Chain A
Amino acid sequence: MTFDDILSIPPYSLEKEEKEKLLTERLNELTELHRKNCTEYRNMLEGTGFGADPVKSYKDLPFLPVRLFKEMELRSVPQEEIVKTMTSSGTTGQAVSKIYLDRTTSSNQQKAMVKIVSDFTSSGRMPMMIIDCPSVVKNRAMFSARGAGILGFSIFGSKKIYALDDDMKLDTEGISAFLHEHAGERILIFGFTFMIWQHFFKELLRLRNEGVTFDLSRGTMFHGGGWKKLASEAVSREEFHKRAEEACGLRDIHDYYGMVEQTGCIYMECECGNLHASNFSDVIVRRPIDFSEAGIGETGVIQVVSTIPESYPGHSLLTEDEGVILGIDDCPCGRKGKYFRINGRLKNAEIRGCSDTYAAKFQ
């Protein structure tokens, strides 16, 4: 099975059994591809005694801890075929993941993303407002997760404006002119959750008190990057939505869950507030005690699988996030597949224990 076969199917159309069959076939193939082409990955499989026979279910495939990409350079194609290296967001001095992309994987990431996002925009491309500063995509050799997110969504933007300047100050004049030019049109708004809250909503609310208002009631917002900082400020999803409407009349808001290690197959929040797995990927919640699969409604550690990665062995990863599957195939929004919620990051001490000891076995 090729990735193009998966692309030809509407992204949220497969029911549980069909999807499991598709994932098992494709992920078995990817496991063999990486076993063949990535020495480190092959050594890890041998270290765990994972044989060459295909597994009956993709749930039985081994998973690598995401932080392994911070410690090792893992790729399954020769260096000269790498066209882009993406890095995770990290503070200065912190190790970042390095993800190596060849043409095929890079292009399939974009294709998957277009299929997923199109399911939520229903129209073609729109004027786009990016809640970030223009310098984020300047360094083209090394792509940060932030730059990759902006660029991935940019394909949906007809005309684009960065709402913040390089000092992260709101460009009110630019935004006014942009909204005037596109009056009556639907607007796509993209950004990262904390930046939207801190530099956009808060500022718009302050301006509103001064009598300056912006109308984004025709906007559709996609935001990602996690809630950790906002949770520490006790800002809930409800509060975020309430403030959005107060600040600029914005009501159509979709959070998404995704990570640089599996760019492309993001998990989008539907109209009912649930995150959805598309045909391109899946989440498996595992019990931290023995990594067995948790039941629906049971909290555990999130494993993600993706049908995209061919140039690096990242098709099955154990994240450091905690979440819960809410249901399969029966979300009121009508999309098939698993829907779930992310509770947040695992407590450092817990994951450090199991992921590091897990990784240390292979060195």
Chain B
Amino acid sequence: MSNREKYDQAFIETFEITKDQLAGLKYQDITAWDSVGHMSLIAALEDAFDIMMDTDDIIDLSSYEKGMELLAKPEYNVEF
């Protein structure tokens, strides 16, 4: 599975949504992505890429696109 597929899978499984809902999805846009769902998403991403995210980045991860930008940072080094 490519990193992009793993990334998408974390969102799809955590929020029980479909692939076509991903683009442009933002925190609090859907009921599943609330503050509880957010921590589940972080756990799923951390498991998928075997990383530990910084608290500031956890807060900054406010959209589907923003998450890719954050994970591409040198400390996580996830290439999309």
Measured CB to CB, the residues of A under 8 A from B are 83-84, 103, 106-107, 110-111, 114, 118, 124-125, 137, 140, 151, 154-156, 158
Contact = CB atoms under 8 A, between A and B. Distances in A.
Given A110-B59, A125-B55, A155-B58, A83 B28 contact: yes
Contacts of B18: none
A154 B55 contact: no
B59 A114 contact: yes
B56 interface: yes
B39 interface: yes
B27 to A, nearest CB: 7
B25 to A, nearest CB: 14
B27 A103 contact: yes
Contacts of B56: 114
B35 A156 contact: no
A156 B59 CA distance: 11
B60 to A, nearest CB: 10
Contacts of A103: 27-28
B35 A84 contact: yes
Contacts of A110: 35, 59
Nearest to B58: A155
Interface string B31-65: 10011110100000010000011111011001000
B54 A124 contact: yes
A103 B59 CA distance: 12
Interface of B: 27-28, 31, 34-37, 39, 46, 52-56, 58-59, 62
B59 A83 contact: no
Contacts of B55: 114, 118, 124-125, 155-156
Contacts of A137: 36
Nearest to A108: B59
Given A103-B27, A110-B59, A151 B52 contact: no
A114 B60 CA distance: 12
A151 B54 contact: no
A151 B31 CA distance: 16
B11 to A, nearest CB: 18
B39 A140 contact: no
* Most A CB within 10 A of own CB, among B34, B35, B36, B53: B35
A-B residue pairs, 3 tightest by C-beta: A83-B28, A114-B55, A154-B39
A140 B34 contact: yes
Nearest to A103: B28
A151 B36 contact: yes
